[in-house]
């Protein structure tokens, strides 16, 4: 019997006990509450992991080898996590490391310059990874009352969005960050056109615009003289470690370096710490197990921390854009990435939790909380613990027949020690590792997005076909 047949056979004889695995480090605690997933199943997946030489592919990623096979290039987002690391991997050239370090320091230094000029409003033009990463950092790690700037994210081409968010501002107090890897993104170019026309009514373009890009020549063609660049080998949804996060860096300053260090620690653990690797494998293997052999193709992300509510948006793009592809014909898996959605836990309990508890849809769950909420916010912490246990194991002995719940939702419980830049960096990099290991198990490339490109192509074709 081959591995695929063994997994199918085990899926037909699912036991009701929970797979209890925990991982603890200085950044977070993790506990699995995975019904129908056990050590024999883990071991079968691990055989596949070894057969696919994924440890070697992890090293190839960090060594800067051509891991993005369709675009024939490396993936270098992790380099920014190495430049300030206490334990640098030093797999990249010193020149690249210095260039990346200089670009982050330039971003940090820009804050005082803008404040001295009387800038009060930062308008970030960007979409996808150019939006989700900086937005997550600002909302999670800063407080509105203590921010240096009023931040506005302009994400689309709708003139109404621009009118309602920008036109009431004073031009002389407003600075635009145009974040685009390629400067070919239609939504960004349209927003740039509207913004440029507005600023030129009273101010100069050079004084109020900066480009963050991997294509400086494209930016120059559009009139930019001020720009900060990053390597072309960094994909949009992996770019939050780079100058793309300038809006957040303007607020965080040196705390952004702590965010990078947290990611760097997760990188080192993926390379050298077997217990951490088991943690990542547990996440990846169980995702694949439930989606491919248990018809659970949807996973909900629930944050029992208001500050973390945007993490699900970041994770959604990372996973669905990286893993939402056709399976390799040689793969033992027929289903690739799961559908990811979610929100703030307390709100979700009064909207779609009814479906989770008593509906017929088969769903998995990731739940997040903060350890110090155990004292600072007892209700939120209690909700995270109670809901995790209720989803995974139920509590039907205390319920009437019509109140009984499904009690079979496979659940991962993540508890950050504190909500700090370092810990968020650690969690975010770990999510990338989860995604990368899953992609290698599926034998797909997580760094391209030709489905997104197809949408751009046919939109422009429609416009060309309907001119006049």
Structure tokens at 371: 């350890």
DSSP 291: H
Is 71 considered catalytic here?
no
* Catalytic residue of the set 39, 56, 163, 456: 456
Structure tokens at 306: 């208001």
Strand ranges in 288-374 using DSSP code E only, listed in sequence order: 298-303, 339-344, 363-370
Is 78 considered catalytic here?
no
CA 36/CA 443 separation, integer angstroms:
25
CB 246 within 8 A of CB 134: yes
Residues 6 or more apart whose Cβ sits within 8 Å of residue 283: 412, 434
CB 319 within 8 A of CB 300: no
Structure tokens at 311: 């993490």
DSSP string, 153-185: EE-SS-HHHHHHHTTTS-GGGEEEEEE-SSS--
Element (H, E) at 118: none
CB 124 within 8 A of CB 151: yes
CA 11/CA 337 separation, integer angstroms:
19
CA 138/CA 144 separation, integer angstroms:
9
* Catalytic residue of the set 132, 251, 265, 321: 321
CA 372/CA 366 separation, integer angstroms:
19
Q: Would you give the end-to-end CA distance of the chain in angstroms? A: 63
* Catalytic residue of the set 350, 402, 466, 467: 350
Residues 6 or more apart whose Cβ sits within 8 Å of residue 89: 62, 82, 267, 268, 271
Structure tokens at 239: 């770019």
Residue 32 forms beta bridges with which residues? 412
Residue tagged 């592809």 (tokens) = 325
* Alpha helices (runs of H) in 83-215, residue ranges in sequence order: 94-116, 129-141, 159-165, 186-199, 205-208
Is 456 considered catalytic here?
yes
Q: Residue 144 to residues 140, 149, 347: CA-CA distances in angstroms?
A: 11, 9, 21
Report the largest interatomic distance among the alpha carbons of the chain, rounded to a whole angstrom.
74
Residues 6 or more apart whose Cβ sits within 8 Å of residue 403: none
- SS3 for 102? helix
Mind telling me the catalytic residues? 321, 350, 456
């Amino acid at each position: 019997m081959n591995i695929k047949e063994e997994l199918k056979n085990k899926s037909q004889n699912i036991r009701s006990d929970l797979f209890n695995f925990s991982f603890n480090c200085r950044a977070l605690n993790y506990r699995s509450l995975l019904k129908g997933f056990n050590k024999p199943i883990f071991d079968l997946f691990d055989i596949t992991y070894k057969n696919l030489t994924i440890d070697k592919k992890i090293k190839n990623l960090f060594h800067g080898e051509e891991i993005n096979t369709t675009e024939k290039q490396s993936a270098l987002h992790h380099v920014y996590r190495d430049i300030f690391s206490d334990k640098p991997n030093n797999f990249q050239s010193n020149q690249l490391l210095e260039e990346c370090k200089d670009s982050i320091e330039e971003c940090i230094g820009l804050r005082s310059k803008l404040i001295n000029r009387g800038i009060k409003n930062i308008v970030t033009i960007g979409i996808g990874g150019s939006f989700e990463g900086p937005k997550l950092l600002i909302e999670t790690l800063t407080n509105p009352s203590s921010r240096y700037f009023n931040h506005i994210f302009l994400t689309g081409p709708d003139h109404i969005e621009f009118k309602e968010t920008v036109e009431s501002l004073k031009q002389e107090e407003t600075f635009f960050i145009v974040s685009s890897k390629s400067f070919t993104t239609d939504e960004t170019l349209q927003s740039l056109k509207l913004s440029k026309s507005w600023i030129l009514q009273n101010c100069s373009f050079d004084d109020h615009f900066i480009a963050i890009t991997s294509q400086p020549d494209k930016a120059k063609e559009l009139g930019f003289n001020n720009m900060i660049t990053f390597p072309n080998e960094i994909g949009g949804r992996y770019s939050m470690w780079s100058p793309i996060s300038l809006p957040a860096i303007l607020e965080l300053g040196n705390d952004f370096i702590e965010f990078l260090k947290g990611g760097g620690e997760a990188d080192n653990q993926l390379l050298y710490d077997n217990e951490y690797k088991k943690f990542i494998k547990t996440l990846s293997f169980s995702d694949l197990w439930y989606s491919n052999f248990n018809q659970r193709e949807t996973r909900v992300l629930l944050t029992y921390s208001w500050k973390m509510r945007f993490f699900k948006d970041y994770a959604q793009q990372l996973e669905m854009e990286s893993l939402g592809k056709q399976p390799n014909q040689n793969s033992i898996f027929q289903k690739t990435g799961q559908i990811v959605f979610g929100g703030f836990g307390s709100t979700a309990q009064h909207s779609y939790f009814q479906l989770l508890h008593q509906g017929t849809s088969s769903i998995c769950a990731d739940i997040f909380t903060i350890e110090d909420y155990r004292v600072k916010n007892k209700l939120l912490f209690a909700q995270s613990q109670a809901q995790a246990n209720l989803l995974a194991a139920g509590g039907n002995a205390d319920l009437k027949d019509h109140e009984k719940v499904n009690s079979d939702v496979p659940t991962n419980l993540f508890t950050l020690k504190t909500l700090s830049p370092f810990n968020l960096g650690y969690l975010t990099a770990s999510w990338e590792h989860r995604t990368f290991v899953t992609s290698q198990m599926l034998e797909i490339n997580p760094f391209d997005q030709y489905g997104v490109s197809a949408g751009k192509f046919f939109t422009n074709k429609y416009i060309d076909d309907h001119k006049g």
